[in-house]
Structure 1
Amino acid sequence: MAALLSVGEVAAQRSLPITRHKAGGIVRNDTIVIARDTTSERYRYVEALKLLHISRDTVRGYALLREMIASDSSYAPAHHSLATSAMRHNPAMALRHAESAYRSDTTSLWYAKSYGEALMQNRMMEQAIEQYRRIVELEPKNPENYYILAWLLSREGRYDEGIELIATSETLFGRIDALAELKLFMLYRTGQTLLAEREARMAYEANPSEDNMERLGEMYAANKKDSLAEQLYIEAVRRDSLSARNLLRLGEYYYQRKQMTPYMKVMVQIIALPDWDFDMKYKAVKTLVDDRQMYNAYVFDIAQMILSLYKQYPEKPEALDLLGSHYIYMSDIESCLTLYKRHLTDEPPREEYYIAVIDIHNYLEQYDSVAHYTQRALDIFPTSPTLHLHRGATQQIKGDLMGCIRSFERAEQMATNDTLRGEILGYIGDVYHSIRERREALDRAGVRRDTSRYPVRMSAAKARQRSYMYYEKALLYYYDNAAVLNNYAYFLSLEGSQLERAEQMASRAVELDRNASNLDTYAWILHLRGEHAEAQRLMRQALALDEGESADLQMHYGDILYALENYALAKSYWQRALQYGAEREAVEFRLGLLERDVKPKMQYNTER
């Protein structure tokens, strides 16, 4: 093939003489025709490099390299280029090409290093070690080669060889920080901690950097020289009290030795640092707060951290919640209320701040304030189901049961998922049950018309029907609602109806939440179905979990014991139920059975 080239190109590439001609006093280069061998390996290789690095045409460039290897498998430059390109994304291919290049020319330092890197990329460490020994022989005055070989020896646990190699490098080049650090590590791993300490001290004296100080402190600690380590860390903090790294190192030193008092003092300093990341600070303080034993023992130090965090980041909800929770922990309810009220004017407004204010007023039984702040919040967040639930709960406390149902129904319309919808429908079922109980109490008292501030205009039967209807709807949306399963099962058991289904629901409620109330319901239903022994076993568990000393549980257990003909113990639990607030009439009826020596032939539908 022939190509047109300028004389300058020919001279540059072939070292040919340039023929110049004068024309009108101007010297110019003539263009000549040269027969150029475009099939030569060097030419094709240069073309491949131009495609790769100038044109950025990797597809054609690599294809040309592969063509060259296909025609001459020993052409090392092409193998080397392909190895370099594949080193990260295809280590196995890189190894094949790197080895081929190196075998073609074992005197080439580039090929030797490429092959060594490929061996490391393929985790062939023993072969890589031998390869880097050859590289050190090829290039003995490059300390980087010694470092890589020492690192490989260290990685394979050949510490003594690594230490000896670094000693050789120190003879040639003097002390080099990277190699000295590696030597320190290997001395430590071989148990030569005193030599490691000496190395660390030399490094620190030569350069008192944070890294060198940290290594020296670690060596002091390894040699049980705690006082020197502590002194070193304290000195570092004294030199730079705003260094998070220095403070964290000192704090870790105290924490590892369970010296919690100085540790807390250091943590106070760390949280006060202006340039340490908020998330890191919050996580550190939250960890201390969640450890109740630590919180109790160092409450004042932790309080200082919480206040510091809030003062630095008053706009962060997490910092505000930490401070609010701390006030509640300290029983300083008023300060907590003031804190959240201060943030009600934040922009953009946050619903959770209003809910916190509402909850605190609710806890303080300040229901007018609850209603006020609930309405303020609803003006801003009219579609919030949580706020409608809060309004309904306040109405329920006041006795406005119908108003409560309307608020709960509004919340159900706003619900964004079936789980929440099922929970709200369960609440409505509970309120209708409360209406039923109120109406039944009025009926027993002979009161035909409810003249209270919030009258109920519904019969007990109608309220029962709606209660059960809402329970059914709740379970359709969210069957694994333990509260609904438990309440529905218990109310059915009081009527003695659908006991088999009631047992299934109660059993599932216990599986979901094994608390005293759910166990009591399940045991009571089993008792009604005649399974007294199993009922006794479950009721014992319920009593063990009952922290409120419920009169209902005492009464139920007495009934179960009576059915098992354990009369003495049954009497004891009935009397205990009376002490815990059970109705005297119900207890005296049971005690009368014992006095008349009436054998157990029936169960008793006692109410909670």
Structure 2
Amino acid sequence: MHNLVKSNWRKWLVAGIGCLMVCAITPAEAQRKNRDKEVKPKEGARGVEESLFTEGMKFMMMDEPSKAVAQFQKVIQLYPENPAAQYATATALMKLNKPDEALPFAQKAVQLDKGVNKYYVLQLAELLVKQKRYSDAENLYEELIKKSPDNIEYGVELAAIYLFDDKPDKALDMYDKVEKATGMNEEIVRQKQRIYLKQNKVEKAIQEAEKLVASEPGETDYLLEGAELLIANERNDQAVDWLQRALKVNSDLPQAHVMLADLYRKQGNLEKCSQELDKVFSNPNLEADIKARILMSYVKMVGNDEKAKQSAVKLAKELATAHPKDARSQAMYADLLAQDGKKAEARNYYVKAAHLDKATYEVWGAILQLDSELNQVDSMLVHSEQALELFPNQGVIWAFNGSANYFKKRYKEAIEAYEETRRLSPTNTELMKSVNAQLGDVYNGMGDHQKSDEAYEQVLKEDPDNDHVLNNYSYFLSLRKEKLPLALQMSERLVEKNQNNATYLDTYAWVLYVMKDYAKARTYLEKAMQADKNVSGTIIEHYGDVLYQLGEHEKAVEQWKKAKLKGETTDRLDKKIATGKIYE
């Protein structure tokens, strides 16, 4: 609303500048007769006045208001009773963004002119609004409108000030007067709707919407806006009627069909909901991109409605199938598949989207995330390398590349990738923690235990409860049989936080094993196997080792044999099974 006043001020300023050119002469002409009768020698001063004013106007035209102010103030010094010079000074100061300094000059201009020149009045009103002296500004506008019916157009600005001054009823009354004098105005109608809705007078707001429809019966946008208004105020049955009215005017309105589909969904009429969406997606005149946007809008509307979500998935699949070369359609279907937990299928559709439009970073990010979650390291390596050709400055992609190289035991390449991540994303705290944690793993894999420990400790310094580091650091220390009290402390903290995580329970048990606390290690390994009925072969092998140390050799061999069937075991397992002994 303030913008409305501001916008009109520009109009007034342009008109006012024109007025200045007239007023620069007119007051002088009016005074000339008197001066001619009185003191002839002042003609030279009058000429100086006009010359200075003209020079000031030139500076205004050249957009040098500070120089213009100096010229206008010289005029005021010569003729302080010249309202045009006062007005011009205020105008220049406003252009310099000095409204407080401009106000006295604007007031003086109105005072000297006795309110005859409306542009002087409008300037003063604008400055008063800037100072939030709304009542004073209202008085000026009210007086201006009283003087002439031609000034009724300024009722819009007056209504805006009434709203600033928290006088909505006065604003409505003024809008009505303006409409009565000038006819229906779309912006006035919308402003009245906002006021009515704020007052919770929904019926009045709907009546205003009807006015817009009546003004242009063939304009479907007005019907759609009215329907949105009704939906927002939970008048869904009326909204259906308005949407159907819009479709009678034009049956090919995608937005109307989508809105109807959502209304029918809320009513539980899924058959009608599906029919409306089918009308959109069977429309051959609609481009795939538009359909994708409509479907995205529908997906947002359905929220957690499972049946509606499945309907959206079905439509997305149809869209992706019908438009196999449209990247957005493939990506949208991938989004919905991912939300539905179908990770492998989602990843494949993201890959299709990436091949069709390589420039979408978010799609590549989704591909790499799903590669990681699917533990498909080869794919993650290939896809990260492809993505880096397109987005070499994205630290996250380098991090995925580093992880892929680490799992492939390409340690040198992994370190290079992680260092790039560090260089490109130093302020991404979470990413930096993840990278340092992974660097600890990489350096451990290379046998550089000092750098490995430093990387882990850097993470723990910032995040002492980091599960990944507490687990890996303590486990690797136990394998090295170094810093065992630290390893015990870290693994103990880990299982306190994660009492049902089989991997973390195994790590703690193995630290206990290395410290020869076999009975306690057995307890935690049995907890691990209870927590996860499908534990890894490594955990079962560890359990066998503990049983062996406790003297239960036959049971130990049984566990080792079970571990072999599971896989993921140590390279000494076969020898242990063959000899029935542990080799450390």
User: TM-score range with shorter-chain normalisation?
Assistant: 0.5 to 0.7
Whole-Å Cα distance in 2 between the matches of residues 207 and 249 of structure 1? 22
Which of 420, 442, 446 in structure 2 is aligned with 1:428? 442
TM superposition score normalised by structure 1: 0.58
Aligned to 1:399: none
Contact 1:147 1:178 (8 Å CA) reproduced: no
Aligned to 1:110: 119
Instruction: Tell me by how many angstroms 1:494 deviates.
Output: 7.0
Instruction: Tell me by how many angstroms 1:236 deviates.
Output: 1.6
Call closer, same or farther: CA 1:282–1:554 in 2, change over 3 Å: farther
Aligned to 2:244: 234
Aligned to 2:411: 408
Contact 2:478 2:514 (8 Å CA) reproduced: no
Deviations 1:133-188 (A, max 9, x none): 11211233333122222333344443333344444445544544444444455455
Contact 1:84 1:94 (8 Å CA) reproduced: yes
Aligned with 1:107: secondary structure?
Answer: coil
Aligned with 2:240: secondary structure?
Answer: helix
Whole-Å Cα distance in 2 between the matches of residues 523 and 99 of structure 1? 83
Task: Say if 2:74 is the partner of 1:63.
Answer: no
Which of 421, 427, 434 in structure 2 is aligned with 1:417? 421
Whole-Å Cα distance in 2 between the matches of residues 506 and 138 of structure 1? 87
Instruction: Tell me by how many angstroms 1:231 deviates.
Output: 1.5
Whole-Å Cα distance in 1 between the matches of residues 107 and 321 of structure 2? 61
Instruction: Tell me by how many angstroms 1:65 deviates.
Output: 1.9
**What amino acid is aligned across from residue 421 of structure 2 in structure 1?**
N
- What is the aligned-residue RMSD (CA, Å)? 6.1
Whole-Å Cα distance in 1 between the matches of residues 228 and 301 of structure 2? 26
Deviations 1:7-40 (A, max 9, x none): xxx9xx989xxxxxxxxxxxxxxxxxxx854664
Whole-Å Cα distance in 1 between the matches of residues 29 and 112 of structure 2? 26
Contact 2:65 2:92 (8 Å CA) reproduced: no
Which of 87, 93, 99 in structure 2 is aligned with 1:80? 87
**What amino acid is aligned across from residue 117 of structure 2 in structure 1?**
S
Task: Say if 2:319 is the partner of 1:308.
Answer: yes
Task: Say if 2:470 is the partner of 1:485.
Answer: yes
Please list, as runs of the form range in 1=range in 2, the aligned pairs for 1:276-425 lying within 5 A after superposition.
284=297, 287=300, 293-294=304-305, 297-305=308-316, 308=319, 314=325, 316=327, 320-324=330-334, 326=336, 329=340, 333=344, 337=348, 340=351, 386=400, 389-390=403-404, 393=407, 404-405=408-409, 407-415=410-418, 416-418=420-422, 419=432, 422-425=436-439
Whole-Å Cα distance in 2 between the matches of residues 380 and 240 of structure 1? 48
Deviations 1:416-467 (A, max 9, x none): 13447634433335657xxxxxxxxxxxxxxxxxxxxxxxxxxxxxxxxx27
Contact 2:385 2:401 (8 Å CA) reproduced: no
Please list, as runs of the form range in 1=range in 2, the aligned pairs for 1:507-586 lying within 5 A after superposition.
516=501, 520=505
Contact 2:506 2:539 (8 Å CA) reproduced: no
Aligned to 2:10: none
Deviations 1:529-549 (A, max 9, x none): 99x9xx99xx9xx98995667
Aligned to 1:443: none
> Could you tell which deviates more after superposition, 156-165 or 326-335?
326-335
Whole-Å Cα distance in 2 between the matches of residues 155 and 259 of structure 1? 45
Aligned to 1:598: none
Contact 1:306 1:322 (8 Å CA) reproduced: no
Whole-Å Cα distance in 2 between the matches of residues 285 and 549 of structure 1? 41
Aligned to 2:567: none
**What amino acid is aligned across from residue 112 of structure 2 in structure 1?**
S
**What amino acid is aligned across from residue 47 of structure 1 in structure 2?**
E
Contact 1:303 1:326 (8 Å CA) reproduced: no
Contact 1:268 1:301 (8 Å CA) reproduced: no
Which of 97, 100, 105 in structure 1 is aligned with 2:105? 97
Call closer, same or farther: CA 1:217–1:414 in 2, change over 3 Å: closer
Deviations 1:94-122 (A, max 9, x none): 43432232233223211111122222233
Call closer, same or farther: CA 1:130–1:60 in 2, change over 3 Å: same
Deviations 1:377-425 (A, max 9, x none): 69989x97755754663xxxxxxxxxx43x1222223431344763443
Instruction: Tell me by how many angstroms 1:43 deviates.
Output: 3.6
Aligned with 1:142: secondary structure?
Answer: helix
Aligned with 1:232: secondary structure?
Answer: helix
Call closer, same or farther: CA 1:56–1:309 in 2, change over 3 Å: farther
Aligned to 2:168: 159
Contact 1:516 1:545 (8 Å CA) reproduced: no
Whole-Å Cα distance in 1 between the matches of residues 172 and 351 of structure 2? 62
TM superposition score normalised by structure 2: 0.60
**What amino acid is aligned across from residue 145 of structure 2 in structure 1?**
V
Call closer, same or farther: CA 1:97–1:307 in 2, change over 3 Å: farther
Aligned to 2:54: 46
**What amino acid is aligned across from residue 299 of structure 1 in structure 2?**
Q
Call closer, same or farther: CA 1:371–1:336 in 2, change over 3 Å: closer
Call closer, same or farther: CA 1:392–1:153 in 2, change over 3 Å: closer
Which of 123, 127, 135 in structure 1 is aligned with 2:136? 127
**What amino acid is aligned across from residue 161 of structure 1 in structure 2?**
K
Aligned with 1:484: secondary structure?
Answer: helix
Instruction: Tell me by how many angstroms 1:201 deviates.
Output: 2.7
Call closer, same or farther: CA 1:62–1:506 in 2, change over 3 Å: farther
Aligned to 2:549: none
Contact 1:265 1:301 (8 Å CA) reproduced: no
Deviations 1:200-258 (A, max 9, x none): 43442232335643564467669976433212123324534555665676577668889
Call closer, same or farther: CA 1:191–1:513 in 2, change over 3 Å: same
Contact 1:184 1:196 (8 Å CA) reproduced: yes
Deviations 1:243-296 (A, max 9, x none): 56656765776688898876677677778854977996696477579x6x4466
Q: Tell me, which stretches of 5 or more residues in structure 1 are unaligned?
A: 1-9, 16-34, 394-403, 433-465, 558-573, 584-605
Whole-Å Cα distance in 2 between the matches of residues 348 and 128 of structure 1? 54
Which of 140, 145, 151 in structure 1 is aligned with 2:154? 145
Aligned to 2:5: none
Whole-Å Cα distance in 1 between the matches of residues 190 and 363 of structure 2? 52
Contact 1:38 1:44 (8 Å CA) reproduced: no
> Percentage identity across aligned positions?
16
Please list, as runs of the form range in 1=range in 2, the aligned pairs for 1:432-447 lying within 5 A after superposition.
none
**What amino acid is aligned across from residue 485 of structure 1 in structure 2?**
L
**What amino acid is aligned across from residue 422 of structure 1 in structure 2?**
N
Contact 2:240 2:260 (8 Å CA) reproduced: yes
Aligned with 1:141: secondary structure?
Answer: helix
Please list, as runs of the form range in 1=range in 2, the aligned pairs for 1:144-223 lying within 5 A after superposition.
144-169=153-178, 171-187=180-196, 189-190=198-199, 193-208=202-217, 209-210=219-220, 212-214=222-224, 216-217=226-227
Call closer, same or farther: CA 1:165–1:58 in 2, change over 3 Å: closer
**What amino acid is aligned across from residue 104 of structure 1 in structure 2?**
L
Whole-Å Cα distance in 1 between the matches of residues 161 and 266 of structure 2? 32
Call closer, same or farther: CA 1:269–1:360 in 2, change over 3 Å: farther
Contact 1:388 1:410 (8 Å CA) reproduced: yes
Deviations 1:507-562 (A, max 9, x none): 786899998368647976998999x9xx99xx9xx9899566759999999xxxxx
Q: Tell me, which stretches of 5 or more residues in structure 2 are unaligned?
A: 1-24, 31-42, 393-397, 423-431, 544-554, 565-581
**What amino acid is aligned across from residue 417 of structure 1 in structure 2?**
T
